[in-house]
Amino acid sequence: MVLVLDLGNTNIYLGIFENGKLIHEFRKHTDLHRSSDEYVEVFKSFFLTHNIDTTTFEGGIISSVVPSLTTTLKSAIEYLINKPCLVVGKGVKTGLSIKIDNPSELGCDLVCDCVGAISKYPLPLIIADLGTANKILVVDSQGAFIGCTISVGLKLGIKSLTNNAAQLMDVSLLAPKKVIGKNSQDSLNSGAIYGTVSMIEGMAKRIENELNVECNKVITGGNATLIKDYIEGFVYDPTLILEGLYRIYEKNK
């Protein structure tokens, strides 16, 4: 088995692959204050619940956008599985051609998204990853990453709005039946859900116009569950980043 882990600003997303197939997944809120020992206990509880034998792991791999926590998580995983754990970054082969001004700027989470998508879908590709930020990635017909857009994430945006507007309350983030809201709750939910849908659909269309080619479109990320039923033209793939991590692990065996 292979353990893969995506360490994001909001969530830790862990997956376990056996014979190339994802057999278990687990999400936990990212806590900067937990120690390596505390994370060992968190993961150990998950392993025990699913009767996972840690002696059967051949290795692990981590993608992290939280540098202050990377070593902590790496130590916890290596202690649990008693095998080395790769960290996606310099010196790790990904197979992804990156054609942007400064390739080193590209987050390893976005690299994993692209690698996962390329392994599963026809090119060219538009990949919308909805997490703390909304990222829309573009992979050309040769399989090269050629750029992206980044905007404030759905939950972060609505939190900022309600925190800074005295007369607006917290919202449930459930899509109302109609776009035109007749009360504050429905109006905020409509703007958050349908507004995000329209932004992603509109940006995808602009990207296709710029490339002068129709792209296959994929949506992923923790917040994608909020809009997946309302967006058109996108395939929902919640485990895309885990697939990418596994593919990168295989390239570095």
Phi first, then psi: give them for residue 27, nearest 5 degrees.
-115, 140
109 given a catalytic annotation = yes
Residue 74 DSSP class:
H
Place of tokens 């993608």: 63
Tokens standing for 186?
A: 């429905």
Cis omega (within 30 of 0) for bond into 124: yes
Nearest 10 degrees: Cα torsion 161, 163, 164, 170: 50
Burial code of 231-252, b = ≥16 C-beta within 10 A, e = fewer?
beebeebebbbbbbbbbbbeee
Q: Among residues 6, 109, 129, 186, which one is catalytic?
A: 109
**Positions marked active-site:** 109
